[in-house]
Amino acid sequence: MKEAFRRIYGAHPEGVWAAPGRVNLIGEHTDYNDGFALPIAIPQHTLVAARKRQDDRLRLHSAQGDGPVLDLRVTQLTPGAVTTWAAYPAGVVWALREAGHRLGGADLHIDSTVPVGAGLSSSAALECAVAFAYNDLYDLNLSAPALALICQRAENGFAGVPCGAMDQLASACCTAGAALHLDIRAGSHEQVPFAPEAQGLSLLVVDTRVKHDLGDGAYAALRTGCERAASLLGLEALRDLTPADLPRAARALPAHLLPLVRHVVKENARVTHAVSHLRAGHLAALGSILTDGHASLRDDFRISCAESDLVVDTALAYGALGARMTGGGFGGSVIVLAEEGRAEGIGVAVTTAFRAAGYQLPHLFPITPAAGARRIS
């Protein structure tokens, strides 16, 4: 990283910062409903080598960006003005300035091992790495959760993606060997020990390598549908409902909103159950929670797709304890929990099934819960 930075900018960086991608164990589309989620950081991460500048130029280069160095001015950043990948790092600087921090420029070089656009949150990893770098370069002393919320603001307000805060909180706050129990309304998080390998279990990621176009507008529509249901029920957010409230909600809501509400309410309950199992050391019990979560996203939220369903069905047929799509939906990645001895057979079966279906072959890799964003040199 340092050598690449020197080649690009002709000087040494002041430091290098890292922020990981994430997979969410359970708690999907719950963050913007003020609910719960349970992500882990993955070992794949984004690195930013950075050097503070005395003027207001923000120079950006990414090994994945496939272009020349971009040259922006931090004092002239306005939402909508940057439409390339640079909207993510520039958005972080914009959001920090919006929050009242008097910041100047920097030179940044970015490189990442997080697959881009695979539902593993390369966008949050990029934002968090930049935010942590700026936090140190400019001595802002912001906490990891505060930086995560700055990154969410960057993605919402500058890059124009109406996401909740889960991805950024996961990248910023996760720790190795633990899942992060997020309570979005309370603004709190707790580390829950999670070491599947210690119990002879494997957690696999299957990147389906598809991203269906539908995704972008559909995400916003789902979010609006959830907010509409909450307002019709006189609630601040769907977080305020429990499964026992569902019959009452069914009477009060138009039929098309009910499946959305059912997913969110039951998904929040699934997070709570998953945390209890993890705390009790019953990791295998997570399996059926994952599979139930997938069925809910497929049938109630309707954001799965044929490729993700094929991974889940094949994995279960070959003995997985549980599997589900993770991330916003319409493609991306699936996680599979399995006994170690079965993981390889499941991987082969999934690849064979994709070949038979004529799909592009997926990428498969095992993961263990990794560390969140930090300075690495």
* Residue numbers at the binding site for ligand ADP (CB under 6 A): 46, 62, 64-65, 85, 88, 110, 112, 116-123, 126, 327
Does residue 375 contact residue 17 with C-beta atoms inside 8 Å? yes
Q: CA-to-CA distance for 107 and 152, rounded, in angstroms?
A: 22
Partner touching 325 among Mg ion, ligand ADP, none, CB below 5 to 8 Å by kind: none
Does residue 109 contact residue 8 with C-beta atoms inside 8 Å? yes
Does residue 200 contact residue 343 with C-beta atoms inside 8 Å? no
User: Around Cβ 356, how many Cβ atoms within 10 Å?
Assistant: 9
Q: CA-to-CA distance for 131 and 94, rounded, in angstroms?
A: 11
Q: How far is the CB of 128 from Mg ion (least distance, A)?
A: 11
CA 245-256-212 angle, 5° bins: 115
Distance of CA 56 to the CA centre of its chain: 31
Residue showing tokens 């279960």: 316
Q: Residue 167 catalytic?
A: yes
Provide the residue type at 88 as one letter: Y
The token pair at 366 is: 């095992």
Is 333 a residue that touches Mg ion (CB under 5 A)?
Answer: no
Q: CA-to-CA distance for 147 and 82, rounded, in angstroms?
A: 21
Does residue 125 contact residue 45 with C-beta atoms inside 8 Å? yes
Contact window for Mg ion (CB under 5 A) among 113-121, 180-188, 195-203, 277-285 = 113-121
Partner touching 147 among Mg ion, ligand ADP, none, CB below 5 to 8 Å by kind: none
Q: How far is the CB of 212 from ligand ADP (least distance, A)?
A: 12
Q: Which is nearer to ligand ADP, 88 or 194 (CB)?
A: 88
Q: How far is the CB of 148 from Mg ion (least distance, A)?
A: 13
Q: How far is the CB of 270 from ligand ADP (least distance, A)?
A: 22
Is 326 a residue that touches Mg ion (CB under 5 A)?
Answer: no
Partner touching 373 among Mg ion, ligand ADP, none, CB below 5 to 8 Å by kind: none
Total residues binding Mg ion (CB under 5 A): 2
Which residue among the candidates 34, 107, 167, 207 is catalytic per the annotation? 167
Q: Which is nearer to Mg ion, 166 or 264 (CB)?
A: 166
Does residue 226 contact residue 264 with C-beta atoms inside 8 Å? yes
Does residue 177 contact residue 154 with C-beta atoms inside 8 Å? no
Q: For residue 366, which phi and psi values (nearest 5 degrees)?
A: -80, 150
Q: Which is nearer to Mg ion, 121 or 171 (CB)?
A: 121
Is 123 a residue that touches Mg ion (CB under 5 A)?
Answer: yes
Partner touching 46 among Mg ion, ligand ADP, none, CB below 5 to 8 Å by kind: ligand ADP
Query: Which residues bind to Mg ion, rule: CB under 5 A?
Result: 121, 123
Active site residues: 167
